[in-house]
Amino acid sequence: MTIQRAAKAGFCFGVKRAIELAEKAAGTGLTASLGPLIHNQQVVDYLAEKGLEVIHSVDEAKMGQQLVIRSHGVPPETYEEAKERGITIIDATCPYVQKAQRMAASSSANSFVIVVGDKSHPEVKGILGWAGSNALAIETLAEAEDLPYYPRITVLAQTTQQKSHFFTVVEELKKHTGELIVQNTICAATEERQASARELAEKVDLMIVVGGLSSSNTRKLGSICSGKTKTYCIETAEELLEIWFTDAKITGLTAGASTPDWIIEEVYKKMSEFMEKTQIQEAEESVVKT
C-alpha cells in the first residue's frame, strides 16, 4: 500500500503572498483583514495569534488600523471608502485577480462583460464591481443559454474555474453576440492543481483532498477527484478515518491552494500510520491462515 502525492498541491503564489503581507503588517501595529484572509480556519487562527483581526466592512475599521485586502480582491468602492475614512490599505489582491479586474474595467467601456464563476464568491463580486453596470456573472451553461443578444461581449473567468466549463460557456456565448472577446483569466496555479489531481485520481483507489470546505478551489478539486475515484474531502488530519484505507492499495493526496504545508504533512503522517497498521493486520492474518 502506498500514498502518492499530487505533483502540484497546496499554497499558490497569491495565497502565500497574502499571508506574508498580512503577517508583516500585523507585526507593525493594529491590523485587520477585510473578511477571513483565506479559506482556511487553521491559518486564520494562526494569524489571529499574530494580531490580525477579522472585520467584515470598512466601517468596522478602527482609527489608525491598517486594512488588508484579501487575494480575492474587492470592488473599487472599497478603496474609495477606505480613503474617505483615512484607513491605510495593505493590498494583497493576487496580481492575477488584479489583471482580471483591469480587463473587466477596460472592456466594459465598449462591450458587455460576462464573468463565468460563482456569483456569491468575493472574487467574482470584486471583478464585477470593476466592470460597473455593463456586466453580469453567470455560473451555468443554462444561464448562458438564457442570455439575450449583445452586439459585443467580453467574457472572463473566475480564476479558479474549470477550463472545460469555461470553454463550454464560451461556445454558447458565440450564439449571443456579433463579436466575442475571450479573456481566459483562469489562473495557471489552479489549472496545474486540477490537472495533477485529475491525473493522480485516475490511477489510485482512493483520493484525500485537504482544504477549507468553503474554499472554491478545494471544492473543485474534490469534484474532479470524485468523478474519477472514491474521494474524501477533509480540513484537518483529525477527520481521517481508518476504515477508509482498509481496501485501498494506492491512495492519492492533494490539497487546495489555501492549504498550508504543515496541515498537508499532518494528513500525510496520519495516513501513513493508518496504512502501516492495515499492513501489520494483514500480515498477522496471513500468518494465522498458514
Q: Which of 3, 6, 9, 15 binds ligand F3S (CB under 6 A)?
A: 15
Q: CA-based diameter of the chain, in Å?
A: 80
For residue 207, the minimal CB distance to ligand F3S (Å) is 20
Q: Which residue is nearest to ligand F3S (CB)?
A: 14
* Of the candidates 94, 114, 108, 86, the residue with the CA atom closest to the CA atom of residue 176: 114
* Ordered alpha helix ranges (H), 90-148: 95-107, 122-131, 141-145
Residue 185 marked as a ligand binder: no
Which is catalytic among the residues 60, 123, 171, 284?
A: 123
The C-alpha cell that represents 81 in the structure block: 471608502
Coil/strand/helix, residue 51: coil
For residue 99, the minimal CB distance to ligand F3S (Å) is 9
Compute the C-alpha angle 156/151/158, nearest 5°: 10
Binding track over 182-201 against ligand F3S, x by CB under 6 A: -----x-xx-----------
Q: Does the protein bind ligand F3S through residue 159 (CB under 6 A)?
A: yes
Q: Does the protein bind ligand F3S through residue 112 (CB under 6 A)?
A: no
Q: Does the protein bind ligand F3S through residue 166 (CB under 6 A)?
A: no
Element (H, E) at 276: helix 261-289
Q: Does the annotation mark 123 as catalytic?
A: yes
Q: Which is nearer to ligand F3S, 24 or 152 (CB)?
A: 24
Is 230 in contact with 205 (CB distance < 8 Å)?
Answer: yes
CB atoms within 10 A of CB 6: 24
Q: Does the protein bind ligand F3S through residue 117 (CB under 6 A)?
A: no
Residues acting as catalytic residues:
123
Judged by the rule CB under 6 A, the positions of this chain that interact with ligand F3S are 12-15, 71, 94, 96-97, 159, 187, 189-190, 257
